[in-house]
Each structure stands twice: as C-alpha cells, then as structure tokens.
Structure 1
Amino acid sequence: MTQLNLNLNLEEIEAAILGSDMDNIIKSSVILMLNQYMEHERDAYLQAEAYERNDTRVTQRNGYYERDYTLAIGKISLKVPRTRDGKFSTTLFERHQRMDKAFIQSMMEMVVQGVSTRRVTKIVEELIGETVSASFISTLTKRLDPLIKEWASRKLDHCHFAFLYVDAMYIKVRENRKIVSKAVYIAAGLRADGKTEIIGFKVASVESYTAWKGFFQELLERGLNKPELVISDAHVGLKKAISECFLGTGWQRCLFHFTRNIFTKLPKKDTRAFRRKVAAIFREDTLKDAKLKYQALQDEYSEVDKYEKAMDVLEQGFDEVTQYYQFKPAIHRFIRTTNRVENINQQIRRREKVIRIFPNHDSATRLIGAVLMDIDDEIKKKSPMFSYKNVYVEE
C-alpha cells in the first residue's frame, strides 16, 4: 500500500488557529490534508514530483479546479488537481463515499424511527451547517424502496409457519387533494421453532373480502405453507377469505376482541362478578373444563334480563373462540389472541403519530415497510417462546 506523507503548511494552520473559531480550524485542517492527498495522487500518476524531469514522466500538471464537498463537518472547498492529458482522476471522493452513505443512512433512520421531516432538516443543519430542504429528505428516503420491495416479496418456504396472525390497522393518507382512510394489512407467522416473523403487509384502500383474499393469495404464491391455525378478529370479509384460502386450517377468533364485544353489551354498573366469571372460562386448561364453567355461567345469568345481550354474544361465538383448546395448555396464551400482531401495530402507530397524515400512498408503504423490517429484525433476535413438537392435545 502506498504511504502518504502529508507536508502540511504549519503557518496556515497557525493562522487558522489564531484568527478563526474552532469550526474553521477543523475545516481548514481538513482542507489542507485533503488537498495534500490529491496532490500526492497526481504526483504518483505523473511519476514525477513538481519541477522534476525524468524519462518516466507521463504528462504535465495543468493547474486546479475548485469543487465544493459536503462532509459531516460541513461544506468545504477543495482544489482538485488536473493534468494536461485530462486522464487523471482522484480517488478521494470515492474513498469518502462510505462516510457520505453512513450520514445519509442516519438521516433515513431518523425518518423511519418517527422523527419528523422538519426536525430531520434542523438536525442536519446543526450537524453540517448546511440547509437541506424537506423535499431533499423525502427524496432521500425513496432509496429505501428497493430494499422494502425485496423484503416484502421474499420467499416464505424457508420454514414452517405453524400459526398465522392477521390484522388490519387504519391510517390517513392524502389522495387526490383529499384526506382518506386506508387499511394496512399485516401478517405475522409463529414459526415451528417458536419464533415470530413478519411475513407480509399491504396498504389498501378498504378492508374487504376481496382485498383480504388478494393479500392471502400473495402470501401463498410466495410459498407460505398451510398453517395449523389462523388467528384474527371476526371481520366478515376476513373470515370468508380465510375459509377459502386456507382449506383445512382452523380459525381462532381473537379472545381479546371477543370478550370486549361481550362486555360492551353489559350495563355500566355492578357487572364485575360477571366479567370475572367470563374471563375464568378461558383460563381453563381443557375444553371440557371451559364448557363446565360456561354452563355454570349460563345457569346463573341466562334468565337475568340485563345480561341477555352479553350472553347471546358469548353463546354465538363460544365455538369460534375456543379453537386453541386443540393444542396443549403451554401454548394457549400464544395462540388465543392477535396480541402478537397488535403489538406490531402499536409500534407502527408510535411512528405514525409523528406524521399523522401520509402525503401519498407510496410514502405510507415506504415508512410502514421500513418500520416492519426494523421490528422483524428485533423480534427474530428474541429467544423462541416454545417448541412446536407435540403441541396438539392427545385424543
């Protein structure tokens, strides 16, 4: 490797120290070193130092041109050497490209983590002393698009997903000069090794049977296996899409959403005992014991008028919400609710609150996709929650 000996002009540095503030001292020193580096490169290309005459000399020096260059310390002006043949090119800017990329990546990361575009521009200005526009930051984040597209369309046949959690959340997006609601479909799989993986997402105009079916078909085309159980809420279109796309797969109605639906039918006062007894049904280890407590609840409350509506909801959904009893008690808490994907939704919501309204459909897909990639990396690092072996209850 060629050694570079920097012959710095100490008088220039001394003048900078005595007559400037610290920022200018740093910039002046960097300019001197980088200019000297390029001068050394030109000498190596020419195979001759200044005013040196020899038989190996390639061509002649041809002065300099000035070029502004932005680093983390701010914008600096450099003197780039030229040669008479026009073939010399410094490697300096290429060598510093990695640092530029790291700086750009930091700005992109701030946006993904929920820092507003306006705040990012202020941070950048404080760091490098240069003004950047909000549109520049937005353009910068578009570099995420290929990465998100590749991640969102990756193959899913690398492992067996025993359980599938699906849910939709709603966001606000500007479209055709109006602010509209859009649904964000998210699917997470619980793998046979006990780890969770985010396997798909989609920003759609509505939550409907057609949209859900299209979403599931995309997952299947990417290689998703038939799961043992799909866990979701009771959206009509979603239920229909699950039954058609996952033939032979069980459907578990989310216990949390279900009990909330029951409790909304109760009077506001004096229902604490009833609520406790409903919750106790679903804490049993076996379906047989759960049915015994359910029957006891019916015997006590079915003839009481103020509990009639709540009991009707419980009766109509009991079979749908107790599918998890096919599996051993050790994994019940992992598969009876959509909490796994709900937690993911909450993390998206924290970032989304900063933006409030996405400027367009693409920006929503970009930010949500980047956040999901980040979350996916984190949850994969966590220890497995259980072993999939022999999870079914023996008959």
Structure 2
Amino acid sequence: AEKLTQAARYERNEQRQGYRSGHYSRNLTTTSGDVTLKVPKLKGISFETAIIERYRRRESSVEEALIEMYLAGVSVRRVEDITEALWGSKVSPSTISELIKKAYVHIEDWRNRPLQGGRYPYVYVDGIYLRRNWGGEFENVAILVAIAVNEDGYREVLGAAEGMKEDKASWVSFFQWLRGRGLDGVKLIVGDKCLGMLEAVGEVFPEAEYQRCTVHFYRNVFSVTPRSKVKLVAKMLKAIHAQESKKAAREKAKAVVEQLRSMKLKEAARKVEDGIEETLTYCDFPSEHWTRIRTNNVIERLNREIRRRTRVVGSFPDGNSALMLVCARLRHVAGTQWGNKKYMNMKHLEAALEDASIAG
C-alpha cells in the first residue's frame, strides 16, 4: 500500500497517489489448507494483487488436483470428502462441475488433434454403450473408439466419437473423421461384425482388409449353443484358428461345420460356415502378428478401464458428457506405459510388404 500510494500511513506529501481505506479478507484454499489473506483497499487508485487473481478462491494446483481426482475415477462425493480431509474445506459439486468444464476444453483439443504417428497399418475399432438420462428416460448412447499400432510398433489412441448407434452411417462418419485428421497407411481394420462395419471399411478405406474379431465370433456361435456343449464347441473353434495357414484353417472349418451338424447344432454350424472367412484375414499378414491382430482384445482392455470409471457416474445427462469422460480416460491411458511400450515388431510387416511388391 505504501508503494502504491507513495506515502506511509497518515503521511501527507505532494507525491501521494491515493488513500488507504482499510482492508478486506479473502479466503484461499491452498495445498496446505485454507488461509485468510488481508487485501488492502485503496481510494483514488486501482489495485490488484499479483499473488491471486480477482475472484480466485483456490490455488491453481488445488484446481488441477480436483480435476485429476475426478478424471482418475473418484466420484464427486468422494472428491468433496477428500478436499475436506486434506484442506479443511469441502468443495461443492457445482464447483467441481465448473472445473471439469475447463478440463473438457483441453480434452476436446486432444480428441481433434492431428494424427502424427506416420502410417498406421493396424487399426482396432469398437463401440461402447453408456447410459444417458434424457428427460427422465434412460437410453443407450454409443461411443465409437479407435486405436492403432503405428509403423514403429507402438499403440496409439486415435480417437473417440459419439454415434447414435453402430450402423453404417455412424461408422462411415467416424472413419472419415479419422482419415481427415491424418489416419493413413491402414492395412487391416479389426472389429466386431456390427451392422454396416464391413461396408464402411470398404467405402472409406478401400485399400484395407477387414478382420472380424475371433472372440466376438465365438460368442456369436455360443449364443445358439446349449450351455452343456459350449466348452466342446469352444475347443473346436479354437482348433480352426490354431492352424498354421489359411488353407489349413479353411479345411479345419469345414470339418467343424460337419461335426456341428452331426451334433444336431444346425444353427451353430450355419454361423461358422457363413462367418469363418471374415475371421481368417489375419492369415494374410506375418505369422508373428497373428495372435495380436485376430482379436479386438487390445481395445477391449481399454473398454474395461472406461467402464470402471463410468460405473462411478452411472448415467450421463447427455452424450457429450459421456464422450468427454471416455476421452479423458483414453488420454490418461495413452500417457502411461500402455502407449510407451512397443507392442509389435513391425519389421515383419515391412518384410512381408516388400516381398509382396517384388512378387507383384
């Protein structure tokens, strides 16, 4: 105050710029707890402290901690309890909601970032359904998720977007969005056989092949198999994908179809006969990669992590809230060892592509 007014308390001089008018108290939540600050009040001169911004009630480090707690899977109620235990004051749900909105701006920037990992030979896609409370009625909202293995062999989260349902239009829009952000060099897309998936792949990525997830394929066959025979049928199906060539796998599949028919499992036999070819695309790629490109397990693990967090929330007020929380978890996982550890040796694919070009 003396520096700003250029006068000590009660001093009168020609250089004086303003007058003291007492002070007011400001509460500030810090990482060490609540503190009360005395802020000078001046007349005839404006004053803002450089220590805390106008209207700020918390240190930025406290706000960052609150956001990280929520995005890490801590419920709003638990965040309230934790803040009271750590800093002596409870942060209200409305305050947390405002902070989360700030975080969502950064998450949206990350979601729409340009893809700069070079070429992405292997892409995995899936849809995860979450509950939305719309006017008191609950309905499902689909969040479409894509990850990839880049040309250096590392996993990368490509992105997520809201789709009203897993139909062709949703997948085409999703794939076009990814392509527009720089998704290139795709050789194989792995996913479940949902409505329109195969057509969408052919339309947006005509240069890529489609691999139907073998795990989802098995589940589809099990859905028409008596429970007492599921273990036996599972063993039969796994034997198909244990073969060392596509030709051998096709021959084994024919034998399995006949065996299922002899067991009076006609519907299961039909599903195997109609769908087996889509599950054998991986055989066209290096055998060293087979176990990691014939299933969607790599993305299913991410989905489990997402569900662990979304279970805390229960239902969402709208689709964008669901999308933002999913993206927050994806961004978090991408920054861990999951995204920093090499997943595949891509030299095997490079050699196979070079041999194919020479043969061509």
Q: Give the TM-score taking structure 2 as reference length.
A: 0.87
1:222 aligns with 2:178: no
Say how many residue pairs are matched: 352
Indicate conservation of the 8 Å contact 2:27/2:57, yes or no: no
User: Following TM superposition, by how much is the alpha carbon of 1:273 offset from its aligned partner in structure 2, in angstroms?
Assistant: 4.2
Alignment match, 1:133: 92
Q: Does 86-95 or 358-367 show the bigger shift?
A: 86-95
The within-5 A match list for 1:1-395 is 42-45=1-4, 59=17, 62-72=20-30, 73-83=32-42, 85-93=44-52, 100-270=59-229, 272-298=231-257, 301=259, 303-379=261-337, 381-391=339-349, 392=352
User: Following TM superposition, by how much is the alpha carbon of 1:233 offset from its aligned partner in structure 2, in angstroms?
Assistant: 0.7
Q: What is the rounded CA distance, in whole Å, between the counterparts of 2:238 and 2:132 in structure 1?
A: 38
Q: What is the rounded CA distance, in whole Å, between the counterparts of 1:99 and 1:121 in structure 2?
A: 14
* 3-state SS of paired residue (1:201): strand
Runs of 4+ displaced beyond 6 Å: 51-55
Q: What is the rounded CA distance, in whole Å, between the counterparts of 2:314 and 2:42 in structure 1?
A: 55
1:144-170 alpha-carbon deviations (Å, 9 max, x no partner): 121111111111244111111111011
* 3-state SS of paired residue (1:180): strand
Indicate conservation of the 8 Å contact 1:267/1:306, yes or no: no
Q: Does 280-289 or 111-120 show the bigger shift?
A: 280-289
User: Following TM superposition, by how much is the alpha carbon of 1:90 offset from its aligned partner in structure 2, in angstroms?
Assistant: 3.1
Alignment match, 1:11: none
2:341 maps to a residue whose letter is: S
Q: What is the rounded CA distance, in whole Å, between the counterparts of 1:297 and 1:175 in structure 2?
A: 47
2:192 maps to a residue whose letter is: D
* 3-state SS of paired residue (2:59): helix
Q: What is the rounded CA distance, in whole Å, between the counterparts of 2:324 and 2:232 in structure 1?
A: 47
1:334-357 alpha-carbon deviations (Å, 9 max, x no partner): 110111111111110000111111
1:262-302 alpha-carbon deviations (Å, 9 max, x no partner): 23332332564443232122123322332343344356x15
User: Following TM superposition, by how much is the alpha carbon of 1:81 offset from its aligned partner in structure 2, in angstroms?
Assistant: 2.6
Indicate conservation of the 8 Å contact 1:226/1:246, yes or no: no
Gaps of 5+ in 1: 1-41
1:125 maps to a residue whose letter is: E
**Are the structure 2 counterparts of residues 291 and 84 from structure 1 closer, same or farther at C-alpha, using a change threshold of 3 Å?**
closer
User: Following TM superposition, by how much is the alpha carbon of 1:375 offset from its aligned partner in structure 2, in angstroms?
Assistant: 1.5
Q: What is the rounded CA distance, in whole Å, between the counterparts of 1:295 and 1:174 in structure 2?
A: 47
* 3-state SS of paired residue (1:231): strand
User: Following TM superposition, by how much is the alpha carbon of 1:379 offset from its aligned partner in structure 2, in angstroms?
Assistant: 4.9
* 3-state SS of paired residue (2:81): helix
Q: What is the rounded CA distance, in whole Å, between the counterparts of 1:156 and 1:86 in structure 2?
A: 51
Indicate conservation of the 8 Å contact 1:64/1:79, yes or no: no
Alignment match, 1:18: none
Q: What is the rounded CA distance, in whole Å, between the counterparts of 1:123 and 1:149 in structure 2?
A: 27
RMSD: 2.8
1:212 maps to a residue whose letter is: W
1:63-100 alpha-carbon deviations (Å, 9 max, x no partner): 422122222355443322345542454322259x8971
Q: What is the rounded CA distance, in whole Å, between the counterparts of 2:87 and 2:260 in structure 1?
A: 71
Indicate conservation of the 8 Å contact 1:192/1:387, yes or no: no
**Are the structure 2 counterparts of residues 218 and 381 from structure 1 closer, same or farther at C-alpha, using a change threshold of 3 Å?**
closer
1:384 maps to a residue whose letter is: K
Q: Does 247-256 or 217-226 show the bigger shift?
A: 217-226
Q: Does 170-179 or 128-137 show the bigger shift?
A: 128-137
Q: Give the TM-score taking structure 1 as reference length.
A: 0.80
1:175 maps to a residue whose letter is: W
* 3-state SS of paired residue (1:106): helix
Alignment match, 1:24: none
